[in-house]
Amino acid sequence: MHSPDPQDDCTPFLSRLGRGARAAGGVAFAAALTFGGAGLATADPSDNDLEATTLSESSQGDAVEYWTAERMESATPADELIAENEAPDGQVEASDSVKIPAVEVNPQADASPQAAPGTHDGSRTAAAAGTDHVGKVFFTVNGADYVCSGNAVASGNGSTVSTAGHCVNEAGTWASNWVFAPGYDNGQAPYGLWSASDLFATDQWVGQEDMNYDIAFATVEPESGTATLTDTVGGSGIEFNTDRGALYTSFGYPAAAPFDGETLEQCQGTGFDDTLGGTDDQGIDCDMTGGSSGGPWFVGDGPEGYQVSVNSFGYTSQPNVMYGPYLGDVAEEVYEAASAA
């Protein structure tokens, strides 16, 4: 989610994830991924608005072992950069507002956090204080390693992570080696790695890569201990069908220059409509780059507010602006499926 270099011509910027735009559902995207499906058992949910996959227990354990400190450090930022004439239009279906309150850490839970292999000791930075429920997402694509951002949200199962659709599924296939590292900071994963047992995305994203629906959720399991994710790090409240145009604070781990992905960064701004591509997303002024995809948007000036979106994409012709999908009825449906898994 960064602008092209000044010397680039007027053609769509091609991200590090792929050279050459592809068409999907009539929409050409500038970031191309081809996901492998090792260790996955795809499920077909009964509802047409969501798609899901279940990862085997053995693949979950393999994922935790796979992500050494070296692999985390070298993971490529996953981002979506598009040209304004390539964005899908349309309005996201919305009804009444639904709010799920935040969850506090449970000090009595049987949590046994372990730092990821090769990490160093150290405390969270001041900029990241109170945001241990936000973290990095790592996954593997055809032998290459990628990184996004994510957030633990309040849920029925206590172990649900929100992220962007393109951080779990691309062109109808699912990511492998998917893990969440809450509270990540300067190489340290103080709560260990939480591997995905199930991944959920909208049918509109999986089938058409519609940027209006670039939202996903994962159900995760602890690296050790029996505590749930929200028992361990807490969980943000989440709201669907919220009012538009509020003050939003966005968090993420931008890993493309000038950032290095080692610290949690934030942006803040009043949301505005997409007048370039006609999506139903909202934009805010934000200079975060690739790697921040999937990081949460909160209403208000800090992480205490309800989550209402995620970092999704930026336009090549509009530098330093981040767009996030509107969480309407379909996003709520996907969340409910993940929350009940």
Residue 279 has a pLDDT of 94
pLDDT of 271 strictly over 90: yes
Query: Edge-to-edge strand order for the sheet containing 307-310?
Result: 98-100, 238-240, 307-310, 296-299, 247-252, 265-270
- Mean pLDDT across 92-121: 68
Q: Is residue 224 part of a domain?
A: yes
Cα distances (Å, whole numbers) of residue 40 to 53, 173, 175, 204: 7, 10, 9, 21
Using an 8 Å Cβ cutoff, are 122 and 188 in contact?
yes
Least confident among 24-28, 87-91, 105-109? 24-28
Residue 28 has a pLDDT of 26
Measured CA to CA, the distance from residue 276 to residue 29 in angstroms comes to 15
Q: Is residue 162 part of a domain?
A: yes
pTM, to two decimals: 0.83
- Bridge partners, 272 (sequence order): 283
% of the chain beyond a pLDDT of 90: 62
Q: Is residue 11 part of a domain?
A: no
Residue 290 has a pLDDT of 93
Residue 61 has a pLDDT of 95
Domain count along the chain: 1
**Closest by Cα among 280, 312, 285 to 296:** 312
Question: Which CATH number characterizes residue 143's domain?
Answer: 2.40.10.10
Residue 217 has a pLDDT of 98
Q: Is residue 111 part of a domain?
A: no
Measured CA to CA, the distance from residue 301 to residue 139 in angstroms comes to 30
Distance from first CA to last CA of the chain, Å, rounded? 32
Residue 104 has a pLDDT of 87
- Mean pLDDT across 173-182: 94
**In this predicted model, what pLDDT tens digit does every residue of 22-37 receive, in sequence order?**
222 222 222 323 233 3
Q: Is residue 171 part of a domain?
A: yes
Query: Edge-to-edge strand order for the sheet containing 272-273?
Result: 272-273, 282-285, 321-324
Measured CA to CA, the distance from residue 328 to residue 129 in angstroms comes to 30
- For every residue of 32-87, DSSP letters joined together read ------TTEEEE--SSTTEEEEEE-HHHHHHHHHH--HHHHHHPEEP--EE-GGGS
Cα distances (Å, whole numbers) of residue 128 to 10, 119, 144, 149: 37, 18, 28, 14
- Mean pLDDT across 46-56: 84
Residue 144 has a pLDDT of 80
pLDDT of 83 strictly over 60: no
Q: Is residue 179 part of a domain?
A: yes
Residues in the chain: 341
Ranges of H-type helices in 75-211:
203-208
H or E segment to which residue 72 belongs: helix 69-74
Residue 26 has a pLDDT of 25
> What number of CA atoms fall less than 13 Å from residue 74's CA on the CB side?
10
- The domain in which residue 90 lies consists of 22-106+130-339
**Closest by Cα among 263, 244, 253 to 77:** 253
Measured CA to CA, the distance from residue 198 to residue 219 in angstroms comes to 5
The DSSP symbol for 75 reads P
pLDDT of 76 strictly over 50: yes
Measured CA to CA, the distance from residue 191 to residue 105 in angstroms comes to 13
Measured CA to CA, the distance from residue 324 to residue 213 in angstroms comes to 9
* 71 — pLDDT class (breaks 50, 70, 90): very high
pLDDT of 261 strictly over 90: yes
Q: Is residue 13 part of a domain?
A: no
Task: Give the three-state DSSP class for 239.
Answer: strand
Count of beta carbons in the 10 Å neighbourhood of residue 111: 20
- Mean pLDDT across 283-306: 95
Average pLDDT of the chain? 81
Residue 225 has a pLDDT of 84
Q: Is residue 146 part of a domain?
A: yes
Output 87 or 158, whichever has higher pLDDT: 158
